[in-house]
Structure 1
Amino acid sequence: MARQHYDKPTRALLKDMLLTWGLKPGQVFTTSRAVEWFAKNYPLLKPGSIRAHLVQAATNDRSRLHHSATNETDDLLFKVDSGQYRLYEPGKDPAPIHEMVVGDVARQEADAAVDEEQEDEEAAPGSSEFLLEKDLQRYLAENLECIEPGLRLYEDEGIRGIEFEAGGGRRIDILALDQSNAFVVLELKVSRGYDRVVGQLLRYMNWVRRELAEPRQRVRGIIVCRLISEDLKLACASIRDVELCEYKLSVTVYKVPQLELPN
């Protein structure tokens, strides 16, 4: 887990920012304004961390549920649009999202799809392929060492590297750290991996370099697909910090002994 740079945790500093601004109900501010305020007052905090804490504080952003430390004290903001927030107004706004219910995962991706450029091979929200991708994401996030020894999920003051906000409504499937403390960006595809996914991964890797990584901290990328296409292998052949992985699913069926009923 990342160390705390200041006497107060970032979520408390976020509250200080809102008090300093003296926002009125309905007054909208942008992510950029928040990042600039932190850069001026708390320069050791990375812009990517600030963005993640805004997500955690947004009562209507379902991605806040990926951060296990989220609770009622984080119910501060209402997300108006991509990169735009206002103060949360109890009684007027919908109740804060504190738990995931059936169907919410699909709706979350549908909302995000409005802001994010979708790749041609993206699974449609709510489809069986999409749900399988979410299952794969959850499994790998909890079992990263099956990809490589020492790989662990990125965490920063309760912010976890699952569906990690990467600006413009885009989200990194899994953000991790390896044994040498290098960032590892994982992009997951349940079907074939095409060469178009390389651009998506490189965009995320460079975002992490700019917004999260320390100077000279390495950033790597891993694409995980059911089947790696020849085009994808060729596209990645000369990219040193990108690796390719295929996964296999297996199901074992056991017979259950027949229940013996009395005569």
Structure 2
Amino acid sequence: MAKTIYDKPTRALLKDMLAAWDLKPGQVFTSSRAVEWFSTNYPKLKPVTIRAHLVQASTNDKNRLHHPSTNETDDILFKVDTGQYRLYEAGKDPSPIHELVQGDVERQEQQVAADTEEGEADEPLAGSSEFLLEKDLQRYLVENLECIEPGLRLYEEEDIRGVEFEAGSGRRIDILAVDRNNSLIVLELKVSRGYDRVVGQLLRYMNWVRKEVADPGQRVRGIIICRTMSEDLRLACASIRDVELCEYRLSVTVSKVPALELPS
């Protein structure tokens, strides 16, 4: 469990907030009101952390599945609209979302469609040196961040992890990490070839992190990781401070196992 800033974790403080408001069934409140309450009572918690916990507590928000610590104790809210919530009513509201549909087919299809837009994705061949899906690359890097640079670790605060990290307006950062100097690192992943259009996306995420997540004076860096870099992407990043480019390689070795000798 991630280290908590206060004596109670944020998910428990969220319940304290609802109790203090004494909400009645059907009464709607906004995320802004929640952020204001925490700002008054627990000012060390960032607004982005509060909003992430509202998502985690919303039984009908599929984005809660991006938070692996979500469980039945978080089934307390129902999302009415963007930034609007009410108390969850068991037996009246749909059952809480607790797991992905097997294979998460819809998400994979959307990812494939995005990767193949304008013919940017190359079809992986048998024995290819690239991951089939961006999700596979993401999962591998989350578990092996030090292969990018020593001391790199996943961002974690109040049970919120830096995987598919919500960055406002429905956007999500592939991986948000922290380096050994406590700088925040925005990782943007492309499973195949990287093109220059990704630069604008990365810079938007970096500046959002500077505005919403970083402490005063905390450095924010960006890293683009893909199988191969286009020359346009290399040129676009040539003079951008705090942006680095990395290419990944997969390697599989197959060795024959000697036949077992059986008695004749």
**TM-score, structure 2 normalization:** 0.82
Q: Report the 3-state secondary structure (helix = DSSP H, G, I; strand = E; otherwise coil) of the residue aligned with 2:11.
A: helix
Q: Deviations over 1:184-218 (max 9, x none)?
A: 11111112111111111111111111111110011
Q: CA RMSD in A?
A: 3.2
Q: Deviations over 1:210-256 (max 9, x none)?
A: 11111001111111111111111111111111111111223333446
Distance 1:83 1:195, change over 3 A: farther
For 1:250, give the aligned amino acid.
Answer: S
Question: Once the 2 structures are TM-superposed, how far is the Cα of residue 51 of structure 1 from its aligned partner?
Answer: 1.9
Equivalent positions of 1:127-142 (< 5 A) are 132-142=133-143
Q: Which whole-Å CA distance do the structure 2 matches of 1:131 and 1:73 have between them?
A: 36
Please identify, of 222-231 and 31-40, the stretch whose mean Cα deviation from structure 2 is larger.
31-40
Q: Report the 3-state secondary structure (helix = DSSP H, G, I; strand = E; otherwise coil) of the residue aligned with 1:56.
A: helix
Which consecutive residues of structure 2, in runs of 5 or more, have no partner in the other structure? 125-129
Residue 98 of structure 1 corresponds to 98
Q: Report the 3-state secondary structure (helix = DSSP H, G, I; strand = E; otherwise coil) of the residue aligned with 2:137.
A: helix
Which consecutive residues of structure 1, in runs of 5 or more, have no partner in the other structure? 113-117
Distance 1:107 1:261, change over 3 A: farther
Q: Which whole-Å CA distance do the structure 2 matches of 1:261 and 1:94 have between them?
A: 61
Distance 1:17 1:184, change over 3 A: same
Question: Once the 2 structures are TM-superposed, how far is the Cα of residue 141 of structure 1 from its aligned partner?
Answer: 0.5
Equivalent positions of 1:28-67 (< 5 A) are 28-67=28-67
Contact between 1:63 and 1:163, CA under 8 Å: does it hold in 2?
no
What count of residue pairs does the alignment treat as equivalent?
A: 254
Q: Which whole-Å CA distance do the structure 2 matches of 1:205 and 1:50 have between them?
A: 20
Question: Once the 2 structures are TM-superposed, how far is the Cα of residue 121 of structure 1 from its aligned partner?
Answer: 4.7
For 1:86, give the aligned amino acid.
Answer: R
Contact between 1:166 and 1:207, CA under 8 Å: does it hold in 2?
yes
Question: Once the 2 structures are TM-superposed, how far is the Cα of residue 172 of structure 1 from its aligned partner?
Answer: 0.9
Q: Report the 3-state secondary structure (helix = DSSP H, G, I; strand = E; otherwise coil) of the residue aligned with 2:35.
A: helix
Q: Which whole-Å CA distance do the structure 1 matches of 2:108 and 2:29 have between them?
A: 24
Equivalent positions of 1:1-263 (< 5 A) are 3-104=3-104, 106-107=105-106, 121=117, 132-255=133-256
Residue 115 of structure 1 corresponds to none
Question: Once the 2 structures are TM-superposed, how far is the Cα of residue 3 of structure 1 from its aligned partner?
Answer: 4.6
Distance 1:119 1:99, change over 3 A: closer
Distance 1:237 1:84, change over 3 A: farther
Aligned residues with identical type, % of pairs = 77
Contact between 2:132 and 2:191, CA under 8 Å: does it hold in 1?
no
Q: Deviations over 1:93-121 (max 9, x none)?
A: 333233344133x4357899xxxxx7985
Structure label with greater radius of gyration: 2
Q: Which whole-Å CA distance do the structure 1 matches of 2:88 and 2:108 have between them?
A: 22
For 1:17, give the aligned amino acid.
Answer: M
**TM-score, structure 1 normalization:** 0.83
Q: Which whole-Å CA distance do the structure 2 matches of 1:90 and 1:140 have between them?
A: 38
